[in-house]
Amino acid sequence: MNARIKNCFLGSVMAVCFIAVLVTGGASAAQEGKFPPLGPLPPVPVPADNPMSPAKVELGKLLFFDARLSGDASTSCASCHSPEAGWGDGGDLSRGYPGTQHWRNSQTILNSAYYAKLFWAGESTSLEDQAKSAATGNVAGNGDTMMMEERLRQIPEYVKRFQAVFGTPWPTIDDAWRAISAFERTVVSNAKDVPFDRFMKGEEKALSDSAKRGLALFQGKAGCVQCHNGALLSDEDYHNVGTPRNPAFEEDPLRQITLRFQHVIRGVPESVYRKADRDLGLFYTTKRDADRGRFRTPSLRELKYTAPYMHNGAFFELEEVIDFYDEGGGEDANKSPLIKKLGLSDEEKEDLLAFLESLSSDKPLLVRPPELPPYAAMP
């Protein structure tokens, strides 16, 4: 379990397990302590070197929506993480930087404040590092740090705000990442709006009977809890489930060019690069064959608003995801031994769907884009 949220949760373990027993009518691996228990999210973890403040969050909100933090001033954080699209971009595969087409799904940043590993293959370990990587990455923001910093210094409103928040005479790019991260730490689920969280806090009627049966399946027959556990409903480990290929990648030369570029800049051997036809996931970091096709487990929170699903956006509906796992996943030499045929009935699939939908807020978390401050020539 993510160490940053583990300590926040230990005190409620007994209560959570007690409720789970009531739902399932018996013991399960999760209740016996094999997996971190499900439950509401704890307070957002905040790093000591980037404390929160309303002024910093407001500055971060402006920067999150400001496309001037990119190479050609066309791509903001919100371009790929729009509140209107579940804080992703709504497509199966990300748009990428102009002139490229990305090969991965633009994952939602909802509740990303709780992750210890960011991106589909865990390449970043903090929101601050993630913001920098996204804004400067060749096929994402493609921004030059000195150019982006100079743009900020030519905007009087930003100069004033950076002085007030960070005490510096001029904006610095590293402080920009800190401000954006502070804003992202406010993009989280509110337990009062999530039926599952209300249920786990004792509101028995917050879940329908179907959803309660789905919870029992989730922790039992369906085995979802093996990877989707803890308050975040993610073990933050890496798994290969045999996700099917996305035709949008197979038929788009720009996406294939971008993927091959990824192979080169991540140091993949030429013998592998020349045959590149799929995303290798964790392999880019470890260079171990056993890690090919392994991706970090995503949280299941807010699923109603964050389609499409999987690292390559292969599924647009939750029903498709359930059918995929019921059939034992896909075919891959590295597929996890945890992925097996489930034999769910149609009614059980409906119950599991009801539970998965209960993990989402009653209404989407929306933020209105702010009016951005203009440039002005320096005196």
Tally of residues, the chain: 379
Let me know: does 85 contact 313? Beta carbons within 8 Å.
no
Query: Which residues, including other chains, have CB under 8 Å from residue 355's CB and lie 6 or more apart?
Result: 196, 207, 210, 211, 212, 213, 214, 215, 217, 218
CA distances from 291 to 79, 106, 130, 299 (A): 30, 21, 22, 20
Please name the amino acid found at residue 59: L
**3-state class percentages of the chain: helix first, strand second, coil last, to nearest 5:** 45, 5, 55
Residue 296 has phi, psi (to 5 degrees) of: -70, 135
Residue 375 lies in a domain: no
Instruction: Say if residues 300 and 359 touch (Cβ distance below 8 Å).
Output: yes
255 and 147 co-located in one domain: no
Who contacts 49 (Cβ-Cβ below 8 Å, separation ≥6)?
Answer: none
End-to-end CA distance of the chain: 53
For residue 179, which of 194, 198, 196, 166 has the smallest C-alpha distance? 166
Looking at the fold, whether 208 and 344 belong to one and the same domain comes out as yes
DSSP 281: B
pLDDT given at position 379: 75
Nearest to 306 by CA among 357, 255, 351: 357
In a domain, 118, yes or no: yes
Q: Are 334 and 364 in contact (CB under 8 A)?
A: no
Whether 30 is covered by a domain: the verdict is yes
Task: Give domain status of residue 109, yes or no.
Answer: yes
Residues 216 and 338 occupy one common structural domain: yes
Residues 176 and 346: beta-carbon distance below 8 Å: no
Distance (Å, whole) CA 216 – CA 211: 9
Residues 100 and 223 occupy one common structural domain: no
Do 176 and 67 lie in one domain? The reply is yes
Answer yes or no: do 10 and 59 share one domain.
no
Please report the DSSP string for 284-321 in residue order. HHH--GGGTTBEEPPP-TTGGGS-SBSTT--BSSHHHH
Query: Do 108 and 197 lie in a common domain?
Result: no
Q: Are residues 317 and 229 in the same domain?
A: yes
Q: Which of 141, 168, 184 is the last residue of a domain?
A: 184
Residues 142 and 220 in one domain: no
Question: Do 94 and 156 sit in the same domain of this protein?
Answer: yes
Are residues 157 and 206 both part of a single domain? no
Read off the CATH number of the domain in which 220 is found: 1.10.760.10
The separation between CA 250 and the C-alpha centre of its own chain, rounded to angstroms, equals: 24
Q: What distance in Å separates the CA atoms of residue 360 and residue 201, rounded to the nearest whole number?
A: 16
Tens-digit pLDDT string for the chain (379 aa): 454 444 444 334 334 443 444 444 334 555 457 999 999 999 999 999 999 999 999 999 999 999 999 999 999 999 999 999 999 999 999 998 999 999 999 999 999 999 999 999 999 999 999 999 999 999 999 999 999 999 999 999 999 999 999 999 999 999 999 999 999 999 999 999 999 999 999 999 999 999 999 999 999 999 999 999 999 999 999 999 999 999 999 999 999 999 998 889 988 888 887 877 889 999 999 999 999 999 999 999 999 999 999 999 999 999 999 999 999 999 999 999 999 999 999 999 999 999 999 999 999 999 999 999 999 987 7
The pLDDT score that the predictor gives to residue 26 is 39
* Residues 168, 116 share a domain: yes
Domain contains 266: yes
Q: Would 99 be classed as within a structural domain?
A: yes
Q: Which pair of tokens denotes residue 231? A: 């308050």
Tell me which of 145, 166, 184 is where a domain ends: 184
| Number of domains comprising the chain | 3
List phi, psi (to 5°) of 375: -70, 160
At position 89, the amino acid (one-letter code) is D
Establish if 371 belongs to a structural domain.
Answer: no
Domain contains 367: no
Domain closes at, from 184, 200, 218? 184
Q: Give residue 142's domain range.
A: 54-184
